[in-house]
Amino acid sequence: MQFTFNGIRKKYITVLSHLQRPVLPSISYTTTERVEAGERVTGMKMDSIILDVPVVIYHRDKTMQELKLELSSWLYSEDEQKLVFSDTPSQFYLARFLSVELEEYEHFSKGIIQFLCPTPYQYAGEIVVPITEEQRDIQVVGQVPVFWTLHARIETRTSQFEIRNQHGEKLILQHQFLENDVIEIDAGKRAIYLNRDARMSLLSFESRWFPLRPGVNILSVSAPSTIRYQNIYF
């Protein structure tokens, strides 16, 4: 097995078979004391994860110092980068390099490369779904509710744009929309754009932001739209 980090795969690095990825990240609970006994759970969050990647590095054509310089240039980054293992090429972690410990031999090194994943999920590639004014089923096969982005082009003049799901949750934008106006919604950032200008004031008070949940989501829109989202796994 091999891995790709920061868009680069090093062919001379092999991941050993005892690589372990967590079934679930650990969970931290916020609690308050119960008067009668024990505690009451008032909140929870999933902790970040650390991946210990056991590797063998073959370097017959490099000195150890050359190898260290190459590894440091590759692994260091000031923000999260995609970490992809070759046995699950369609999924990736968002990770930062944490540390490396190597035992050095004449033509190879063996040890652990550590990565920190601040968000403890595996992400899949982006999914693009066109939606007309009719209802459209969107199947989220991941394990985590996900936010979405929407791009819509108004076909005829109207005073309202709406997207809603089968639970009655909806976003309503009120404006004197013209033909070919472009609406963009980013549910994760809670942002609304009209013709690329930020226009949060269009959002009506009866609106409620909502994610796409694992399973079937039935969406309807008042103008032809394109929805984008990612499946997310533990």
What pLDDT is stored for residue 64 in this prediction? 84
Q: Is the alpha carbon torsion for 118, 122, 127, 132 positive or negative?
A: negative
Number of domains in the chain: 2
What pLDDT is stored for residue 159 in this prediction? 97
Is residue 162 within 8 Å of 225, Cβ to Cβ?
no
Across 172-203, b (16+ Cβ under 10 Å) vs e yields bbebebeeebebbbebeeeebbbeeeebeebb
What pLDDT is stored for residue 128 in this prediction? 97
Residues 111 and 154 in one domain: no
Range of the domain at 61: 3-120
Is residue 34 within 8 Å of 89, Cβ to Cβ?
no
Residues 103 and 44 in one domain: yes
Is residue 59 within 8 Å of 109, Cβ to Cβ?
yes
Residues 66 and 127 in one domain: no
Residues 85 and 165 in one domain: no
Is residue 232 within 8 Å of 123, Cβ to Cβ?
yes
| Among candidate residues 120, 145, 169, the one where a domain is terminated | 120
What pLDDT is stored for residue 76 in this prediction? 95
Q: Is the alpha carbon torsion for 119, 232, 184, 6 positive or negative?
A: positive
Of 207, 130, 116, 222, nearest to 170 (Cα)?
A: 207
Per-residue pLDDT of the chain (234 residues; tens, 9 = 90+): 999 999 999 999 999 988 999 999 999 999 999 888 889 999 999 999 999 999 999 988 888 888 899 999 999 999 999 999 999 999 999 999 999 999 988 889 999 999 999 999 999 999 999 998 778 999 999 999 999 999 999 999 999 999 999 999 999 999 999 999 999 999 999 999 999 999 999 999 999 999 999 999 999 999 999 999 999 999
What pLDDT is stored for residue 36 in this prediction? 84
Q: Tokens 């909502």 — which residue? A: 210
User: What SS3 class is residue 56?
Assistant: strand
Is residue 7 within 8 Å of 82, Cβ to Cβ?
yes
Q: Cβ of 226: how many Cβ atoms within 10 Å?
A: 14
Q: HSE on the CB side for 230, CA within 13 Å?
A: 13
What pLDDT is stored for residue 193 in this prediction? 98
Residues 106 and 9 in one domain: yes
| Among candidate residues 68, 102, 120, the one where a domain is terminated | 120
| Among candidate residues 92, 120, 148, the one where a domain is terminated | 120
Length of the chain equals 234
- In DSSP terms, which residues pair with 44 in a beta bridge? 29
Of 115, 84, 85, nearest to 98 (Cα)?
A: 115
